[in-house]
Structure 1
Amino acid sequence: MLNPLIDEIFELILTRQVWQVHTLAAELTNRSAITTLDKSPERDLFKRNFLIMNALYQLQAQLRPQSLLISTLHIELLEKEDNSLVTTNENLRDYYLDWRNYDTDEEKIDELLNSFWRQFKTTSPQQVLNDNEFKALALEWKLPENFTLKNVQKRWRQLALQMHPDKPNGCEVKFKKIKLQYEQLKVAAR
């Protein structure tokens, strides 16, 4: 089933570099593209997030699987040169592309929200990555196979010097991205 929010979301991600699910939801509500979906506040929030994530994953498949970075805390349309940085959490993608999950009951929603907040509390601000995602990121950063925190810190300093917005070839967006990656790799190095 084609999600009716795809075009609206695509227009939005073209206007600003980085989004989050809640900021997309707020803007879609302001544009009257999304309204109240359920009487229960928890189910309404879940359904809004489900529709947004479903639309994002459908959009990702339409664009190219590697051109749209999707996580709840960071949604970004990437330039061609950045495509290798994106890894997709297939379980999450499969969950949000399965329309049967849209009508999840309140007990399951509570369980999902509690799980999200537990993960968020222990990993914030970085995105939770699986083993394959960590390996891909370590490869992108040119880290040794069994890298240490010291390896990550050294590489971070090198990349930060190259990408810092104050440098001639620096870029604020890329700098923020490598900062997020650094936080993710620090967790893996422990």
Structure 2
Amino acid sequence: MLNPLIDRIFDLILTQKVWQVHILAAELINCGAIKPLDKNPERDLFKRNFLIMNALYQLQEQLHPKSLLISTLHIELIETDIESPATVKSNLKDYYLDWGNYEASEEQINELLTSFWQKFKRVNSAPALAEDHYDALLAKWQLTNDFSLKELQKRWRQLALAHHPDKPTGCENAFKQIKVEYEQLKPAARS
């Protein structure tokens, strides 16, 4: 189903380089493009954000999978020279393009909001990382979403030893890269 917000959102993202979902939502409410969707405030928030994210992902597919960067805290239309990019896959994209998720239960909405605020806390305290990049780092480092500083430090020592340039199998570039990744992950670790 084609989302009726696509054109309005496209018009808005052409006016400003970077957006955030809550600012986009406020703008859509102010111009009357979105009316209240539910009497329950949490369900109303969920449905509003679902419609916006659904429209963004549909717009991304229409433009170019790589020409519209989408995360909750960073939405940006970028120029790209890629003529036929590979399709970008993500769990969030799959979730928001499935209209069956629009009618989530109150329990599901509470779980999603709790998860969002946990990620928001992590991302807000960490250097700006795209959500997909952050998830990829967690997978690469073999860490769970709720990793501790102690777990991160242990994994850092393991990777540093394995890639240290003084080791016969070491690599200076790989060592430098994991150091950068360690610094990106450190603020998100729980104490």
Q: TM-score, normalised by structure 1?
A: 0.69
Map of 2:173 onto structure 1: 144
- Letter of the structure 1 residue corresponding to residue 136 of structure 2: D
Distance 1:188 1:55, change over 3 A: same
Matched position secondary structure for 2:54: helix
Tell me how far apart the structure 1 counterparts of residues 182 and 35 of structure 2 sit (CA, whole Å).
39
Alignment correspondent of 1:187: 184
Identity of aligned residues (%): 60
SS at match of 1:29: helix
Cα separation, 2, equivalents of 1:102 and 1:113: 14
Distance in 2 separating the partners of 1:55 and 1:99: 11
Deviation at 1:79, TM superposition (A): 1.6
**Cα separation, partners in 2 of 1:28 and 1:115, compared to 1, 3 Å:** same
Q: Aligned with 1:37: secondary structure?
A: coil
Residues 13, 19 of structure 1: 8 Å contact kept: yes
Deviations 1:80-127 (A, max 9, x none): 2599xxx95610000000000001011110011001111211231534
Specify whether residues 3 and 61 from structure 1 end up closer, same or farther in structure 2 by C-alpha distance, changes over 3 A only. Answer: same
Deviations 1:22-76 (A, max 9, x none): 0000000111000000010000000000000000000000000000000000000
Give the whole-Å Cα distance in 1 for the aligned partners of 2:75 and 2:82: 14
The higher radius of gyration belongs to 2
Alpha-carbon deviation of 1:144?
2.6
User: 1:60, 1:68 within 8 Å by CA — same for their partners in 2?
Assistant: yes
How far is 1:188 from its partner?
4.4
Paired residues of 1:57 and 1:93 also in contact (CA < 8 A):
yes
- Paired position in structure 1 for 2:135: 130
Change in 2 beyond 3 A, CA 1:133/1:74? farther
Specify every segment of 5 or more residues in structure 1 that has no aligned partner in the other structure, as ranges: 136-142, 153-183
Task: Answer yes or no: is the 8 Å Cα contact 1:25–1:48 preserved in 2.
Answer: yes
Structure 1 counterpart of 2:135, one-letter code: N
Alignment partners' CA distance in 1, 2:138 and 2:15 = 28
Partners of 1:64 and 1:185 lie apart in 2 by 32
Aligned residue in 2 for 1:166: none
Confirm or deny: 8 A CA contact 2:66 2:80 kept in the other structure. no
Which aligned pairs between 1:33-182 and structure 2 lie closer than 5 A? 33-80=33-80, 88=88, 90-124=90-124, 126=128, 127-128=130-131, 129-131=134-136, 144-146=173-175, 147-149=177-179, 152=180
Number of paired residues?
147
SS in 1 for 2:36: coil
For 1:188 and 1:46, the matched residues in 2 are separated by 28
- Per-residue deviation at 1:130? 2.3
Alpha carbons of structure 1 residues 145 and 115: separation in structure 2 relative to 1, 3 Å: same
Q: Distance in 1 between matches of 2:28 and 2:65?
A: 24
Q: Structure 2: which 5+ runs fail to align?
A: 141-171
For residue 130 of structure 1, what is the amino acid of its counterpart?
Answer: D
Q: Where is the helix percentage greater, Structure 1 or Structure 2?
A: 1
What SS does the aligned partner of 2:3 have? coil
